[in-house]
């Protein structure tokens, strides 16, 4: 019998929630991370879990995560983009918020939105999906939980094949950081924030598009 914290009977419902989030045509300006983290919160609450359990870690983890995000953005632009384009046979579209181009005030607003979405994404994808897999397979390798989290990220990410492939690769890296940091979302959360905020700033400066 599964423990109250595992509640394996909830797994089909949790999978259905993720798929529903992926299929529902959400308003363009609403990050899909918000309904995702709402579902994550419900799941954790039903199992007597709190997000504080995955929010441990000090300044060092935060700084490492932020640095990894900046480095990751650079590598994605210089190396990742050509690889994804070669595999998908499509050009990678970096322009996610054209409204920020040359507009500092709009950039500030978008940065706030992106930051909130990044926090919600990591709480849901790593703090819920990856953690859920880890707690149901104690003592086993973390490869499968990391891959499941990456697949979940690809499924809920709007866009074409190249966008989803990039999301999956990004998810693998963040999942590895989550496990390496002792199952804490602090490092991957800061990495995501640095990566996505950095992309917004570069787009505002018209350096990518």
Instruction: Determine, yes or no, domain membership for 115.
Output: yes
Instruction: Determine, yes or no, domain membership for 167.
Output: yes
Q: Kindly tell me the burial class for residue 140, based on how many C-beta atoms sit within 10 Å of its own C-beta (0-12, 13-18, 19 or more).
A: exposed
| 194 touches 174 (CB < 8 A) | no
At which residue do the structure tokens 């697949």 appear? 151
pLDDT of residue 91: 63
Q: Which residue has the higher pLDDT, 68 or 86?
A: 68
Instruction: Determine, yes or no, domain membership for 135.
Output: yes
- The confidence band for 93, taking pLDDT boundaries of 50, 70 and 90, is low
Instruction: Determine, yes or no, domain membership for 2.
Output: no
Crossing angle (nearest 10°) for helices 59-75 and 161-180 = 150
- Over residues 130-176, the pLDDT tens digits come to 999 998 887 778 999 999 999 999 999 988 887 888 899 999 999 99
- The answer for residues whose C-beta is within 8 angstroms of residue 116's C-beta and 6 or more apart is 31
Instruction: Determine, yes or no, domain membership for 1.
Output: no
How far is C-alpha 174 from the chain's CA centre? 7
- The answer for residues whose C-beta is within 8 angstroms of residue 174's C-beta and 6 or more apart is 122, 125, 126, 149, 188, 191, 192
- Over residues 9-68, the pLDDT tens digits come to 899 999 999 999 999 998 877 889 999 999 999 999 999 999 999 999 889 999 999 999
| 31 touches 117 (CB < 8 A) | yes
- The answer for residues whose C-beta is within 8 angstroms of residue 12's C-beta and 6 or more apart is none
Whether the pLDDT of residue 86 is over 60: the answer is: yes
pLDDT of residue 88: 64
Instruction: Determine, yes or no, domain membership for 209.
Output: no
pTM for this structure? 0.90
Q: Domains in the chain: how many in total?
A: 1
pLDDT of residue 1: 40
User: 44: which 2 tokens?
Assistant: 């954790």
Instruction: Determine, yes or no, domain membership for 3.
Output: no
Instruction: Determine, yes or no, domain membership for 17.
Output: yes
User: 161: which 2 tokens?
Assistant: 């094949």
Residue 71 structural domain = 8-204
Phi, psi of 145 (to 5 degrees): -55, -40
Query: Helix, strand, or coil here: 139?
Result: coil
């Amino acid at each position: 019998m599964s423990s109250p914290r595992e509640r394996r009977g909830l797994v089909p419902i949790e999978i259905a929630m993720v798929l529903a989030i992926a299929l529902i045509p959400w308003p363009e300006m609403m990050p899909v991370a918000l309904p995702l983290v709402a579902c994550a919160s419900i799941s954790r609450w039903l199992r007597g879990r709190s997000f504080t359990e995955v929010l441990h870690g000090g300044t060092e983890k935060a700084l490492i995560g932020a640095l990894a995000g900046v480095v990751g953005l650079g590598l994605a632009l210089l190396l990742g983009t050509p690889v994804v384009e070669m595999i998908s046979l499509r050009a990678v579209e970096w322009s996610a918020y054209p409204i920020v181009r040359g507009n500092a005030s709009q950039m500030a607003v978008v940065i706030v939105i992106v930051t909130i979405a990044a926090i919600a994404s990591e709480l849901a994808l790593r703090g819920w999906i990856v953690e859920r897999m880890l707690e149901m397979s104690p003592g086993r390798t973390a490869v499968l939980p990391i891959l499941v989290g990456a697949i979940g990220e690809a499924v809920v990410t709007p866009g074409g094949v190249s966008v989803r492939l990039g999301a999956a690769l990004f998810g693998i890296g963040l999942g590895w950081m989550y496990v390496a940091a002792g199952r804490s979302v602090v490092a991957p959360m800061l990495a995501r924030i640095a990566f996505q905020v950095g992309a917004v700033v570069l787009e505002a400066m018209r350096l990518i598009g």
